Structures are given as structure tokens and as C-alpha cells.
Amino acid sequence: MKKFTCVEDLHNLQSALQEAAEIKQNRFKFDSLGKNKTLLMIFFNSSLRTRLSTQKAASNLGMNVIVLDINQGAWQLETERGVIMDGDKPEHLLEAIPVMGCYCDIIGVRSFAQFKDRDYDYNEVILNQFIKYSGKPVFSMEAATRHPLQSFADLITIEEYKKTDKPKVVMSWAPHPKALPQAVPNSFAEWMNATDYDFVITHPKGYELDPSFVGKAKVEYNQMKALEEADFVYAKNWAAYSGDNYGKVLNMDRSWTISEKHMAVTNNAYFMHCLPVRRNMIVTDDVIESNQSIVIPEAANREISATVVLKRLIESL
Ligand code: CP
């Protein structure tokens, strides 16, 4: 595997899930695979889980790790080509990327959607520049349109908790005061569409996702109807995708906040969220603290998804 940015990069999903289960049994089984190999993790945006779980995964494999927070201590980077650099950014990404590539064997990049230009975000300009100019295998630690390490961990978690072969999984929009990217819901939809689960997306009108990510999922605008008999409820906020509303918050209707009333119509569903989560906006205290909440095992599986991905990238060096 030379890069990891989407579900297709794993090729055979079943074998990746099997590998994840084996690594979970013994996460140090390959602890010399990464000896004398260096992982560079580059953050254009904040993180808790991705930073810690990916660093832990690298250490499981015996790698050295360098972490660079672009906004804390590094030169501010210009990302647009053709700009006259007479402003506050003294270095261009097009020099910085190959320089960073000199110091490592594998690069992880976190770079969120900026919501200034939908084409710029959806063409994954920054992530693709790393792939093109670093000379190293690159993986996404959440880019503008996808968060594949999260989705892989989500899938591992559903496989561990499911009680039927084809569970009903419902991804529900929920309110949030800020405009959040579509990376997590896009990616979750992409990974669910790669399974044979019964997958439903529910959101208010105006929050339609890019159809290429929605794929074969059912879209149900009536949230309570969508949640009926669900085995898993995956809550997430996202900003609008369509037209002039791209990147906007259109409503904060708290009737969409996942509460006990919502969970009552499900098949005693498990509650999932990628975290961080705003309590009593996305989900009530009672639901996230309930026995059916699996947000912590879901976060724990980020170490497993990252270990599988890094192992495969090291094996391709
Ligand atoms: N879910 C997730 O990616 O968490 P962080 O933003 O804290 O890394």
C-alpha cells in the first residue's frame, strides 16, 4: 500500500478487518517492522485522538515519530501556487513538502476543509500536494473530504458489536453551533457502502452530502422514521455541502439531538460518535453515558486502524 486516503486503498476490506482483529489480539506482534523507520505526522489542525492513537500505533511497530504542528512553531506555509509572497507566510508548501520528505519514511497529514472554495476542498489540494511532492508514502489523518482512519476504526467497532450479519446502521445529522466539515460523514458513508449493511442517512433538508459519497445509502428526512429498528446510531454534525450554502450552518434544531426518545425507537441500538462531541447539542448526557454508548471502544480502535495502516505502508517501503 503506497498511500491511504480512502477505503479503496485497503483493497480487500475483509482481509483488512481480519488483520485488525489479529493485531488487536497482539498489538506488538510486529514491533520490529518499523525499526529505523521514521513517521512524520503533520497537523494543520488540532487533534487529540488522531495524534495519540497514530503515535501509539507507530510505537507498536517500533517506529520513530516526529510531530509537526504547522500552526505552532513552524513557518506559516503558503499553499496557493502563483501567490506573490509579500504577506505573513515566509515559506511555500512546494519547498516545505520535499524538505519534510527528506527526514522521514512515511508522512501522515491532517488538513481540514477550509470552506472558502468547494472545488479546492473537494480536490484535496493540500493532501495531493504531499502525495505528489514528498516522494514518500502518505496517509490521511483527516483531510478535506474524508477521515479514513476514523471510518476504519468505526467499522472495526461495528464488526465487534454487531449481533446480526447485516445490521441496520443509521448516520444521523445532529446540531452544532459551528460549521464542521463533511469529512467524517462522507468517509463513514463511503465505508458503510463498502459493506453489505443496511445503511441509512438522515438529516434535515439542505444538508444533503455529495452524492458520490451517499452512493447506495437510503436517505430518510424523517429522523424518527430513519432510527426505527436501528442497530447502530452514528451521530455527526456537518455543514451544508450544496451550492451557495457550502460550509454554512443552516439550522441548530435541537429536536435532532440524539436523546433517549430517539434511542427508544431503535433495536436497543449502540450509540457511536467519532469524538470530540458537544453534549446536549449532538447527544444528551443520558445517551452518551448509557450502557449502549460505545464511543470509548470506538476511540480505542483508532490505535488498531492506525497500526494496520502503518504496517501496510511500512511493508511497501
Ligand atoms: N475523531 C478524531 O479524529 O479525533 P481528533 O480530532 O481528536 O483527532
Q: Please tell me whether residues 49 and 188 are part of one structural domain.
A: no
Q: Please tell me whether residues 159 and 274 are part of one structural domain.
A: yes
Res. 2: pLDDT tops 90: yes
Domain count, the chain: 2
Q: Please tell me whether residues 138 and 160 are part of one structural domain.
A: no
Q: What is the pLDDT of residue 71?
A: 87
pLDDT, averaged across the chain: 97
H helices present in the chain, as ranges: 13-25, 49-60, 93-102, 118-122, 125-133, 148-161, 183-193, 211-214, 223-227, 260-264, 285-288, 295-315
Q: Please state the rounded mean pLDDT for residues 185-202.
A: 98
Q: What is the pLDDT of residue 159?
A: 98
What percent of the chain is predicted at pLDDT more than 70? 100
Tell me if residue 31 falls in helix, strand or coil.
coil
Dihedral (C-alpha) 153, 159, 162, 166: value to the nearest 10 degrees?
110
Pocket of ligand 1 (CB under 6 A): 47-50, 142, 150, 274-276
pLDDT digits (tens, 9 = 90+) for 200-219: 999 999 999 999 999 999 99
254 is in an annotated binding site: no
Q: What is the pLDDT of residue 45?
A: 96
| Number of other CB atoms surrounding residue 195 within 10 Å | 18
Work out which ligand 1 atom sits closest to the CA atom of 51.
8
Q: Please tell me whether residues 292 and 304 are part of one structural domain.
A: no
Which residues form the domain of 268? 148-299
Span from the CA of 50 to the centroid of ligand 1 (angstroms): 5
Q: Please tell me whether residues 183 and 286 are part of one structural domain.
A: yes
51 is in an annotated binding site: no
Q: Please tell me whether residues 196 and 266 are part of one structural domain.
A: yes
Q: What is the pLDDT of residue 73?
A: 82
pTM more than 0.80: yes
CATH code (residue 232) = 3.40.50.1370
Q: Please tell me whether residues 68 and 12 are part of one structural domain.
A: yes
Work out which ligand 1 atom sits closest to the CA atom of 142.
3
Q: Would the ipTM clear 0.90, i.e. be above it? A: yes
Q: What is the pLDDT of residue 64?
A: 98
Q: Please tell me whether residues 102 and 166 are part of one structural domain.
A: no
pLDDT digits (tens, 9 = 90+) for 39-65: 999 999 999 999 999 999 999 999 999
Span from the CA of 36 to the centroid of ligand 1 (angstroms): 28
Q: What is the pLDDT of residue 42?
A: 97
Q: Please tell me whether residues 140 and 153 are part of one structural domain.
A: no
Q: What is the pLDDT of residue 74?
A: 87
Compute the distance between CA of residue 203 and CA of residue 51 in angstroms, rounded to an integer: 30
Q: Please tell me whether residues 160 and 141 are part of one structural domain.
A: no
Q: Please tell me whether residues 194 and 277 are part of one structural domain.
A: yes
Q: Please tell me whether residues 164 and 255 are part of one structural domain.
A: yes
